[in-house]
Amino acid sequence: MTKINTVLFDFDGTIMNTNHVIINSWQHTFRTVEGKERPEEEIIKTFGEPLQVTMEKVLPQIPAEEGISIYRSYHYDNFTDLIHVFPGVLELIRELKNRAYKVGLVTSRLLHTTSIGLQKYDMEKYFDVIVTCEDTDKHKPDPEPVRIALDRLDSEPEEAIMLGDSMFDILCARNAGVKAALVSWALAVTEDEKTGENAPDYIIEEALDLFKILE
């Protein structure tokens, strides 16, 4: 087996607990457009998908840009206050850099809020590359975002592993020929998906458990 020297991370739900701000932003949008909220489970199923794609799907009665504007008006005002790093993740990323791993971030989020989140915890300096939805025409689960990250890092697929919290992440990694690890704090993956034909290669219970795979 080729030794892994590259670790890619998703942002939302993997590095950063953005669950509350995403759910609240959607509920604000639903209240504004429809006059009522929707079940949280419906929102959680969309985790990992680009906002434009989800908006077109769940609120087809309005132009997507109008819905996005409503969503972001709440999201931007509350983002910094409602997010925090998952336990052990910052320590994991620091140690990866200490051990000379190449570290990348592959997210369906815009660079603006991604940077705000990373800056809150002074994390930007640990990433050798950051790929957002603005860097690619195709999005998870298409392999293009991961391939762009590998290209910029000068890494081969067999040298890399990606950590994510949704099937969009798992399939993106798999489609790019990269090992896929699901974090145990994921909300958007069902028990059946954890063991089905598209199951992740690994499930990581705690952040630092990644080293059990790498070593």
* Catalytically active residues, by annotation: 10
Q: What is the phi/psi pair of residue 8, to 5°?
A: -110, 140
Residues 175, 128: Cα–Cα separation, whole Å: 22
Contact 54, 122 (CB under 8 A): no
Which helix (H) or strand (E) segment is 26 a member of?
helix 19-34
- Cα 52 to chain centroid distance, Å, stands at 15
Contact 7, 160 (CB under 8 A): yes
For residue 160, what are the β-bridge partners?
A: 6
Is 62 in a helix, a strand, or coil? coil
